[in-house]
Amino acid sequence: MKTRWYKDAVVYQIYPRSFCDSNGDGIGDLRGIISKLDYIKDLGVNAVWLSPIYKSPNDDNGYDISNYREIMEEFGTMADFEEMLEGMHARGIKLIMDLVANHTSDEHEWFVKSRSSKDDPFRDYYIWRKGRGKDGKRPPNNWTSRFGGSAWQFDEATGEWYLHLFSKKQPDLNWENPAVRREIADICNFWMEKGVDGFRCDVITYISKEEGLPNGKFNPIMCGDEHFVLGPRYHEFIRELNKNSWAKFDSYTVGESTGVTFENAPECIAEERGELDTIFGFEHMCTDMYMEVIPHKFKLPRFTAVLSKWQSLPESCWNTLFLENHDQPRSLGRFTGDFGDKRYEAATMLAVAMQMQKGTPFVYQGQEIGMVNCKFRDEDYLDVMARQVFSIAAKIPFGKAIARYCLARRARDHARTPMQWNAGANAGFTAGKPWMMLNPSYKTINVEADKKAGEKSIYAFYARLHAFRRGNEVIKCGSYRQLDKKNKSVYAYTRSHEGKTLLVLANFKNKTSKFKLPPELSSGRAVLSNYPDSALSAEVSLRPYEAAVFEINA
Ligand code: GLC
Ligand code: CA
């Protein structure tokens, strides 16, 4: 049944709210996506991951779902959805939906009923507890929300607290309840029967909480993890869901797996486990952030050491490759330093460095034209996480300045400014007033300008890279070996398969870097490069952000 098509796929992620608005209300929508299907196809990707499009009050832009079987009104109708899906399939593009199953919206009817009375049949769909202290006015334990503050909210109606590991409008579902697990399987089946090809499973590693919900080790930012990341029944729950839904289809699943380590990843994704097909590991994204929020200096060897480690997963596991998504700042600048006028070179260098590794690459909307972070004033931040950070910071000395410093580098808002289609009004994103400010860079960075850039089109480079990857057995299956692991400027590795070797050189610096090669790797021809005349020798001089793939002479 399973063809494992994802092993030869590149996935494009769409954050629908910010992609393309078709009706001038300032909000991206499904018809906007339909109008861009050829743009997506011509990029040479063969799957789309769509961030949530279900009915939602949008406390967390759709990651708070109030009805899993309906389309958010602002995004369109079920008929639009079906047309979009058909349009994708007709172009050879699969569709992966976002499955947000750790929590729902507090406006979901399950929660409305659940909070109404302690005896309601839906009470046990969520995690309710009495408070601590004589009057029960202290939260049941010390766990923190991933957005800051306590993970518990007191509810007047019944005088108890409910757990929310994200915003208080995102109550956690109680997976201990078999009825909840059946509901989630039914939801997956509902969409797969419509023809959807798989799921990206939102914070899926949080679904099983330790019995008794014990206090976490002291940690002011993220407290309690050890009691719910890959909790006691996690594997059992996922195997059950796989059996009752995903395994019945030729599906692909990728789990957002905060907290999964290289050591325990195989328990989550090895083929024989019958759980998830792949995960997003975040270790490489943490090499320039402490606790995922506090920025620190990017150092190439620290970054490539993590990438190389994950390349050595056991044969029965499959990797994902990514530098961006809707929760991360833009990769340009972050991993390249100040690129000055070398935006094309820096963007394409990152593409080569990531995509020549073994695994399934993910490209986030705008990455294919080299979109960059935005300069925000305090009031420009709209994300629930940024707002929460500011409100907590306001209570501590210098808090605001620290929050500003961290958010300028870390905010999720950077990835969410509208897609930049052209240099015209509102970057061609909308005919109305955009729901979120545009990055002023759209005057120069936009799809139209990029396409006109000819040899220096980032989009065209991505398209070439994707065409080059497709069906290439060395890239798909070849063994991976990093060269000169301590190199501070150049990321170099080989991929080898059945007597063929590809050498990848990527200069992460905005200056020339020299790189010495052993004799067996010093002759061959460039098969892909972001400079027109990359060449191999015993000591290669790589120009600013030069990245090239060489086929080594046997
Ligand atoms: C995931 C999503 C993020 C969301 C959170 C809660 O991390 O990627 O955008 O805020 O889950 O659903
Ligand atoms: Ca719209």
> Chunked in runs of 10, what are the mean pLDDT values of the chain (554 residues)?
93 98 98 98 98 98 98 98 98 98 98 98 98 95 95 98 98 98 98 98 98 95 95 98 98 95 98 98 94 89 98 98 98 98 98 98 99 98 95 93 95 98 98 98 98 98 98 97 98 98 98 98 97 97 98 92
Look up residue 276 and give its DSSP letter.
Answer: -
Determine the structural domain holding residue 133 and report its residue range. Answer: 104-172
Ligand 1 atom closest to the Cα of residue 325 is: 8
Token pair of 250 as six digits: 């030729």
Ligand (nearest to CA of 203): 1
CA of 18 to the centre of ligand 2 (A): 10
Asked if residues 84 and 154 have their Cβ atoms less than 8 Å apart, the reply is no
Query: What total number of domains does the chain contain?
Result: 3
Q: Do 370 and 490 share a domain, yes or no?
A: no
**Pocket mutation for ligand 1, best pick of 63, 97, 103, 169 (most atoms within 8 Å of C-beta):** 63
| CB neighbour burial string for 208-230, b if at least 16 within 10 angstroms, e if fewer | bbeeebeebeeeeebbbbebbbb
Ligand (nearest to CA of 75): 2
CA of 433 to the centre of ligand 2 (A): 10
Ligand 1 atom closest to the Cα of residue 102 is: 12
Ligand 1 atom closest to the Cα of residue 384 is: 10
For residues 533, 534, 540 and 542, what is the CA-based torsion angle, rounded to 10 degrees? 90
pLDDT at 550: 98
CA of 166 to the centre of ligand 1 (A): 8
- Residues labelled as active-site residues: 202, 256
Pocket of ligand 1 (CB under 6 A): 60, 63, 100, 166, 202-203, 256, 326-327
CA of 34 to the centre of ligand 2 (A): 12
The residue from 127, 143, 172 where one domain ends is: 172
Q: What is the CA radius of gyration of the chain?
A: 24
CA of 529 to the centre of ligand 1 (A): 35
Q: How far apart are CA 537 and CA 523, in angstroms?
A: 6
Q: Do 82 and 117 share a domain, yes or no?
A: no
The residue from 131, 153, 172 where one domain ends is: 172
Which CATH number characterizes residue 374's domain?
A: 3.20.20.80
Q: Do 96 and 220 share a domain, yes or no?
A: yes
Q: Do 16 and 165 share a domain, yes or no?
A: no
pLDDT at 2: 87
Q: Do 166 and 309 share a domain, yes or no?
A: no
Ligand 1 atom closest to the Cα of residue 166 is: 6
DSSP 186-209: HHHHHHHHTT--EEEETTGGGS-P
pLDDT at 290: 85
Q: Is residue 471 part of a domain?
A: no
CA of 91 to the centre of ligand 1 (A): 29
Q: Measuring from atom 4 of ligand 1, which residue has the nearest CA?
A: 63
Long-range contacts of 422-430 (CB under 8 A, 24+ apart): 422/446, 422/447, 422/448, 422/449, 423/448, 423/449, 429/18, 429/20, 429/21, 429/28, 430/21, 430/24, 430/25, 430/26, 430/27, 430/28
Q: Measuring from atom 2 of ligand 1, which residue has the nearest CA?
A: 202
pLDDT at 554: 82
pLDDT at 195: 98
**Pocket mutation for ligand 1, best pick of 13, 96, 203, 204 (most atoms within 8 Å of C-beta):** 203
Q: Do 381 and 528 share a domain, yes or no?
A: no
Q: Do 318 and 395 share a domain, yes or no?
A: yes
Ligand 1 atom closest to the Cα of residue 100 is: 12
Which CATH number characterizes residue 143's domain?
A: 3.90.400.10
Which CATH number characterizes residue 535's domain?
A: 2.60.40.1180
